[in-house]
Amino acid sequence: MSEYRAPVADMMFALVEIGGHAANDETLPQILDQAAKLAHDVLAPLNRSGDVEGSVYENGAVRAPKGFKEAYAKFIDGGWNAVPCDPEFGGQGLPWTVTMAISEMWHAANMAFGLCPMLTLGAIELLQHHGTPAQKKLYLPRMISGEWTGTMNLTEPHAGSDLGTIKTRAEPRGDHYRLKGQKVFITWGEHDMAANTIHMVLARTPKAPPGSKGISLFLVPKFMVRGDGALGGRNDVRCVSIEHKLGINASPTCVMAYGDNDGAVGFMVGGENRGLEAMFTMMNNERLAVGMQGLAISERAFQRARAFARERVQGRDLNGGNADVPIIRHPDVRRMLLTMKAEIDAMRLLTYYTASQLDRATGTPDEAGRKSAQVRVDLLTPVVKAWNTDLGVEIASLGIQVHGGMGFVEETGAAQHWRDARIAPIYEGTNGIQAMDLAFRKVARDGGKAMAALIDEMRPDLAGEAAPALSVLERATSFMAQAGRDKPALVAAAAAPYLRLVGTVAGQFLLNRQAGAAARRMKAGKGESKFLESKSALAKFYAANILPQAEALAAAIIKGGGEIAALDEAAL
């Protein structure tokens, strides 16, 4: 099996040229190098063994696979959990772009492990925005350090993405509430790696209105927390089982029971009946993080496939010669590897670009600049989540294909990447939901103005041969904005190919911008020539082999959606 090596050079180039980081920042390469060391030395070796062993459920307790608890201790000892968090509560206050880069390493090395701190960061972000001063003071320092982990509790057995139908109840009891109900698909809902787990739980108060307007949010600790931060007794919340899954087997996906006895003690966060508003802070954080997972698992699958293609000797070189050659010299294998590499670069650039807009939305001095950046974040979040994770599954599948028959054998490790990748298009809102969010809330609602602003930014980098693809995106956006006024079924039917179109064109935009930066460095004699030349080559490959999909996607948007909407379900 190949080892995972974080692509630090690619990350640095993207952070500087697309993420806006200073090229002379001496701390950034040090951070990336140290993160890469932890990913390679500690997390990656546990990926295969954790998949085989899985988390173990016994009498309400969950034990992480061998080595995970020790790895988590090294993770928090290194301060990695605190990277983007508020310094007031022990965080390091570093940009989200840096967080995305190092998080890519955690998930590429060991996606099941990476899910635990990923959920904790989302819970921290939620509390930082919506918690009371007392809640922040009591919970944030230990969550930011990683001493305590966090979870998201939305889904119930009868209610998947339709949160308006949840039934978990919260009865007021003085300064707290007592919760009763069951939640499913709770990632790292119970485990032995941290001293406490802080659950963020959606529930209804007694007089709550029906539907999503009647949802409140509650902080429910696994162990009660005293005023000085010390742990008290066990709260009335327990794990009743863990799921047996296709992938991410080392990550326990729990069924959580709240209030088997007197009711689980919970504290309201964000105000009564305003739970979804608060929870969406965490959900949007997680959606960007899940998009990063699609990127990460793609990088890991690519590295494994590339290593195999260099080692596997089979078949003659079509350019001549009598000896068998490594399969990387065969055109179809090269096509697959180049597709993987070009799409990975495009995903990384889009993820870091969106994270840089998030940094601008919180750090730009003028209000207009912050609002403009936040609009861009809102526009691109569903694209990062859905486009990246769809490609993650496709790229992991290509990785298996490069291996041939050996890819279908678990021992090579290629199959695990596909199995792990397959959850990402489903959780944090299926990719169909992300597409409808983009189509209705981000395009139709404002008549396409936010997308038009992005298109205007793309235009200088998509001149020449790429210009027709930009025109295609403009035409499709106009169609979606107009249809959104009175043809919702048509927009919903066309939403998924529209999101794919946005991601595909945005990928070319950023690859071209990266290639331009590489050319400037080449001219100035700064940087390793083969690395810089590869950036131009990837942009050209993408333009010739992937960007032509834009025309077909536009046809599916403008013509195909009507056929879907018109089809009688009896014909299925």
Distance, CA of 181 to CA of 170 (rounded, Å): 9
Please return the burial class of 233, using the count of CB atoms within 10 Å of its CB with bins 0-12, 13-18 and 19+.
exposed
Return the axis-axis angle of helices 449-458 and 488-524, rounded to nearest 10°: 20
State the pairing for strand pair 176-187/196-203.
unpaired
For residue 59, which amino acid is it? N
Q: Cα torsion at 427, 428, 429, 435 (round to 10°)?
A: -110
Residue 108 in tokens: 């590429």
Secondary structure (3-state) at 241:
strand
Copy the structure tokens of residue 295: 């990127």
- Residue 134's φ and ψ, nearest 5 degrees, are -70, -40
The single residue listed with the structure tokens 């003028």 is 366
Residue 465 is among the residues annotated as catalytic for this protein? no
Name the β-bridge partners of 476.
none
Residues 6+ apart with CB under 8 A from 337: 302, 305, 306, 309, 328, 402
**In angstroms, what CA-CA distances link 287 with 32, 110, 283, 384, 394?**
23, 19, 6, 8, 19
CB 359 within 8 A of CB 96: yes
Strand pairing of 264-269 and 176-187?
antiparallel
Non-local CB neighbours of 225 within 8 Å, separated by 6+ positions: 138, 139, 196, 231, 232
- Count of residues for the chain? 572
Catalytic residue among 272, 428, 528, 551: 428
Q: Alpha-carbon distance 446 to 444, whole Å?
A: 6
Contact 167, 147 (CB under 8 A): no
The Cα–Cα gap between 82 and 79 comes to 6
Written as one letter, the residue type at 51 is D
Q: Give start and end residues of each alpha helix (H) in 312-430.
A: 331-363, 367-403, 414-421
Spatial contact of 476 and 554, defined as CB atoms under 8 Å apart: yes
| Residues that are catalytic | 428
